[in-house]
Structure 1
Amino acid sequence: MIGKLDPDVLARVLARTGAPNDAVQTGATYGEDAAAIDLGDAILVVSSDPISLASESAGTLAVPIAANDVAASGADPEFLTNVLFLPSDDPALLKTLTTQLDEAATAIGATIVGGHTEYLPELSRPTLSITCFGRTDRFIPTGGAAPGDTIILTKGAAIEGTAILASDFESTLLDRGVEPEIIERAQTFVDEISVLPESRLLRSVATAMHDPTEGGVRAGLCEMAAASAVDLHISREQIRIRDETKQICDAMAVDPLSIFGSGALLAAVPSESADAALTSLQTNGIDATSIGTARSPTDDETGAVVLDRTRITDPGKDELYPLWE
């Protein structure tokens, strides 16, 4: 089995958090991808993320994927640590990955301050785990959405997943009839993974923000709904799916709402601020749409996604994983 633990199993992991500390404002809990630690004069935001399957662009993707959780929490990513496991002592691979990491960190103004690197021959591809740190005076949780809020999605679904498919499965896509120009454009989606620009624009008004990664937009919405204890009523047709994404996902028989979604930002904003927020994003060249609203749960459950008329509580498994098995 590959992928995240299911929520019930994860709950057992999250129940064991070591010594209590009053400085922890937000700690380990389902749906929250970043911790908030009160430093007195600022809130330290910390988040970690691994990457193991995107072999062609692992270093390029790893940095913004980790940094996005910090950005979505209202902080600018400042510092990074990198744990890198290599399947062999191939100097070309090491140079490629470290160059990608350096360039990606420089692009968002973050500094790599340490980590660990070693060889692990049992691996078939490199594995990275990045921890990102940033400071803010207003932490924005995943679980802050309130009834009446408008749910905004930036850029579209499956941006990261599209880039991975176009890079790692290029020959398969060509064999299945996808035009080379479509694949080439999709490969450039890797340049859009960071959500720092839109996070900066929305952080003053958002009640909740979330970076949908593994499991895509569907999983991200389920996590926001559960963490906020609200129902998110979402219209599928309002979720932007780019033509490149549609063609590539159709060719690989995967749902664009259920594959890696980094590059998009989910944000809940008060309804009276939604139009201004969307205008601000569009003015700054960031495509964004209102995809639904938050409402009080219809029963005693902790919250769910109502996609069109289907109630969803299970985030599901990312549909890319079986492609590597």
Structure 2
Amino acid sequence: MGKPSPTELDRYVFSRTGAPNEDLLVGPRAAEDAAAIRTAAGTLVVSTDPVSLATESIGRIGVAVASNDVAASGAVPEYLVSTVLLPSRDTDLLDTITNQLDEACARLGMAIVGGHTESVAGLDRPLLSLTCMGYADRFVSTATATPGDRLLLTKAAGIEATAVLASDFRAAIDADDATVERARSFFDELSVLVDATVCAPVATAMHDPTEGGVLGGAVEIARASHVDVVLDGDSIPVRPETRELCAAMDLDPLRVLGSGALLVTVPADAAEDALDALHEEDIEATDIGSVEEVAGDDPAVVRDGRRHTDAIRDGMYVLWE
């Protein structure tokens, strides 16, 4: 379960991209979650993502995940194409999913402009594949973090994982109802549209840490930008609900589904103003580290003296295997 290795992606995916197109500004490449296409109306940013592992709030999660990648590229998510595959002709399930898609898109000001819906033999849970599009005045890549930058994190680690644990895995967790309800409310914080809008003018790179969490997202920035990302000790914020639910399932909060947070690199002299601007929007934000020249054989995230160079496998996967 999980993504192919970087070597497999290079061999079987990134080397097979069809015909060249002169209007393609940014195409398929490692750690880049969105494409950028030159159009007469401006730079069109396009991203697609599947969601299959969380069932109770799959529509809400899907919209957040797809739109976050567009927002993290400096664009405003405007359009969504939705493919809904169901394990059976269950109209109640279809009603739940499409209602979630509708409400989540309406809240973000996005239009659902097309898609496909059907029942598919062999599925044991619903599967969504969502494509989001929007225009950017300035495309912000994952691959342009610069030595000397500071690394900022909005909100906290493991927000998405906490909400999924509180909903899909409630029966396996020994926690009081109040804690679980607070954790479930994290579903309302999965969008990073405002976070990205605030940071885009000064960001050198932005990345939505989904699979692999904050640590995985930081590794992807390091690999894409060919830099070291040095984390400052225990500076990464983890909410009490996240600590409790992750501990109950023996999970590392820094290595679990992280939608809802945004990783942003900014020039050092812009970091304080960026944090102030986020706080003015009532968005938690923390300076968690620095971007430096590569000090080893490969780009890495350096945490407590240890160099993390390989892609991070999300700890949540074991719960569905």
Please state which band the TM-score falls in when normalised by the shorter chain. Answer: over 0.9
Offset of 1:322 from its aligned partner?
Answer: 1.0
**Is the Cα contact below 8 Å between 1:73 and 1:139 reproduced in 2?**
yes
Which residue of the other structure, out of 232, 246, 268, is the alignment partner of 1:249? Answer: 246
Deviates more, 1:4-13 or 1:161-170: 4-13
Matched, 1:3 2:2: yes
- Deviation per CA, 1:293-312: give whole Å up to 9, x if none: 000111453x2111121100
- After superposition, what is the alpha-carbon deviation per residue over 1:223-274, rounded to whole angstroms, capped at 9, x for unaligned? 1111111100012411000000000000000111111000000000000000
In structure 1, how many angstroms separate the alpha carbons of the residues matched to 2:93 and 2:10?
37
Do the aligned partners of 1:218 and 1:315 also contact (CA within 8 Å) in 2?
A: no
Residues 73 and 140, structure 1, Cα contact 8 Å, conserved in 2: yes
Give the match for residue 85 of structure 2.
85
SS in 2 for 1:20: coil
Looking at structure 2, the residues matched to 75 and 243 of structure 1 have their Cα atoms a distance apart, in angstroms, of 32
Distance 1:107 1:135 in 2: 18
Alignment-mate amino acid for residue 46 of structure 1: V
Secondary structure, aligned partner of 2:254:
helix
Paired AA for residue 262 in structure 1: S
The corresponding residue for 2:304 is 308
Q: Which residue of 1 aligns with 2:261?
A: 264
Cα shift readout 1:48-79 (whole Å, capped 9, x = no counterpart): 01100111000111001100000000000000
Post-superposition offset of 1:41: 4.2
Give 1:216's aligned residue.
213
| Amino acid corresponding to residue 274 of structure 1 in structure 2 | A
Q: Is 1:324 aligned to 2:308, yes or no? A: no
The farther-off stretch of 90-99 and 37-46 is 37-46
Secondary structure in 2 matching 1:49: strand
**Gapped runs of 5+ residues in structure 2?**
none
Of 270, 274, 299, 2:271 maps to: 274
Displacement after TM superposition at 1:149 (Å): 0.3
Runs of 4+ deviating beyond 4 Å: none
Q: Determine the structure 1 residue equivalent to 2:176.
A: 179
In 2: Cα distance, 1:171 partner to 1:96 partner: 21
Taking the aligned partners of 2:305 and 2:42, their CA distance within structure 1 comes to: 42
1:6 deviation in Å? 1.6
Aligned to 2:48: 48
Cα distance in 2 for partners of 1:310, 1:38 equals 41
Of 120-129 and 203-212, the range deviating more from structure 2: 120-129
Amino acid corresponding to residue 254 of structure 2 in structure 1:
L
Query: Match for residue 286 of structure 1?
Result: 283
* 1:142 partner SS: coil
- Matching of residues 1-325 of structure 1 within 5 Å: 2-12=1-11, 13-173=13-173, 177-301=174-298, 303-325=299-321
Does the CA-based 8 Å contact 1:143-1:208 persist in structure 2? Answer: yes
Q: Structure 1 unaligned runs (5+)?
A: none
Matched to 1:188, the amino acid is S
Amino acid in structure 2 at the alignment position of 1:76: V
Overall identity of the aligned pairs, in %: 51
Change in 2 beyond 3 A, CA 1:41/1:112? closer
Q: How many residues align?
A: 320
CA shift, 1:196, in A, is 0.2
Instruction: Judge which range, 197-206 or 33-42, deviates more.
Output: 33-42
Return the alpha-carbon distance in structure 2 between the equivalents of residues 206 and 219 of structure 1. Answer: 19
Q: TM-score, normalization: structure 1? A: 0.97
Secondary structure of the residue that 1:4 maps to in structure 2?
coil
TM (norm. structure 2) is 0.98
Letter in 2 for 1:123: L
Paired with 1:180 and 1:141, the residues of 2 have a C-alpha distance of 41
Give 1:284 shift: 1.1
Cα RMSD for the two superposed structures: 0.9
Distance 1:300 1:158 in 2: 30
CA distance in 1, matches of 2:22, 2:156: 38
Once the two structures are superposed, what CA deviation does each residue of 1:32-58 show, in whole Å capped at 9, x if it has no partner? 000011114410000001100111000
2:124 and 2:41 mapped to 1: Cα distance? 45
Distance 1:40 1:310 in 2: 47
Aligned partners of 1:217 and 1:266: how far apart in 2? 8
Name the aligned partner's letter for residue 232 of structure 1. Answer: V
